[in-house]
Amino acid sequence: MKRNYFSYFLISIIFVIGMMASCTKEGPAGPAGKDGADGTNGSDGKDGVDGNVSCLVCHTAANMGDIHAAFDQTKHVTGSSWARGTSGSCGRCHSSDGFIEFARSGEEIGAAVSTPVTCQTCHADHSSLEDGISAPMRSVASPVVSIAIEGATYEHGMGNTCATCHQARRASTGYDNKTEDATYSRKFTGEDIAVYQAHGAIGPNGTMELVGDTLFVTFDVPTTHVYTSSTHAGPHHGPQANIFAADIGTVAGAPFDRDHHTDCAGCHLSKEEGSGHTFSPNIAMCNECHGDALDIEAEMAAIADRMHAVEVALEGIGAIHVADDGVHPMYASLPRDEWNAFWNFMCLWEDKSHGLHNFGYAKQLLTQAETALGL
């Protein structure tokens, strides 16, 4: 009997504990309370620019198509010089990647694969999309440091992008630097034999000897003479910044008066018909300002005529050889004044503007050449 009472006791304890546990459970949620008052409204944000309105000022299919069509015809794209872009000393101007790296860091590199100039070579990304933005130019050094003329710099505003490459890579002192008499020996074959036999400038005591199909030449170069040591002699292609600055010839000159001119793009990227990304200046635009005060076409034609006369005389003394593809310097030992005439002519010939980049300086260089050559 005692065992049964104990069982009843345990059951009672368990029942009481269960009742206590059930009393601690959360009951059902009560009705929702009344909404509180609204908070203070925030200030409205400023409306952004409609991307289509801003971007399509320039980036229409028709406009971009016209730009590409014009640009693709220029030597910035079609020229053969891009093969030089893998060279460390040439890459900054002869490859797109080389130019971008030079603009970014100032380091000259040879591109792994050289490619011509593209839009991205000269144009950087937009920093904003606000109204009235123009095509952003890639940032370059300002002013541009001269490669050929020690201590010289060039400041062309937005045209600094152009002047980074459109400048001389050599000065005349790179050739006219001998302090002792010297001789140089070379041999020529093929078509060069007739050229040098007819016009070779070999110096006062130079010699020529044809042995079989090879012409052996000794160039005599006393200190009164200057030796042209390369068939690529000259300031290198594109010394336009130097012609502006009047610092590349053997004659001292005055820089181009730019009081009423802005930068390279002002003429070479104008919106006049036929200009734009062809980079061809529209001369009619010049006449709008100069009017009858300066006949641009007549000035250029006069310079061209004088250059042609100097060209003929230089070929006659063996300084250059003129072929269908242009003017080619010859190995030569020339009296200094004649060599200076050669150098000054090459500066103008490589400039390609027929004096337009600095009429006054072009006339000075031609006068020196004409006097030296007896014209």
Q: Tell me the per-residue pLDDT of 247-303, one tens digit each, with 9 for 90 and over.
A: 999 998 999 887 667 678 878 887 766 678 988 887 777 777 777 778 888 999 999
DSSP per-residue codes, 326-352 = EEEE--EEEEHHHHHHHHHHHHHHHH-
Q: Which domain holds residue 208?
A: 173-375
In total, how many domains does the chain have?
A: 2
Please check whether residues 181 and 132 belong to one and the same domain.
no
Q: Is 35 exposed, middle or buried (0-12, 13-18, 19+ CB in 10 A)?
A: exposed
CB atoms within 10 A of CB 11: 10
Please check whether residues 216 and 109 belong to one and the same domain.
no
Please check whether residues 179 and 127 belong to one and the same domain.
no
Please check whether residues 178 and 106 belong to one and the same domain.
no
Q: Per-residue b/e over 241-264, b at no fewer than 16 CB within 10 Å? A: bbbbbbbbbbbebeebeeeeeebb
Please check whether residues 316 and 191 belong to one and the same domain.
yes
Q: Span 209-227, mean pLDDT?
A: 97
* Full-model pTM: 0.82
Please check whether residues 62 and 178 belong to one and the same domain.
no
pLDDT at 27: 67
pLDDT, tens digit, 9 for 90 and up, residues 46-91: 876 665 677 777 888 888 898 999 999 898 898 888 888 899 989 9
pLDDT at 29 over 80: no
Please check whether residues 198 and 76 belong to one and the same domain.
no
Please check whether residues 124 and 187 belong to one and the same domain.
no
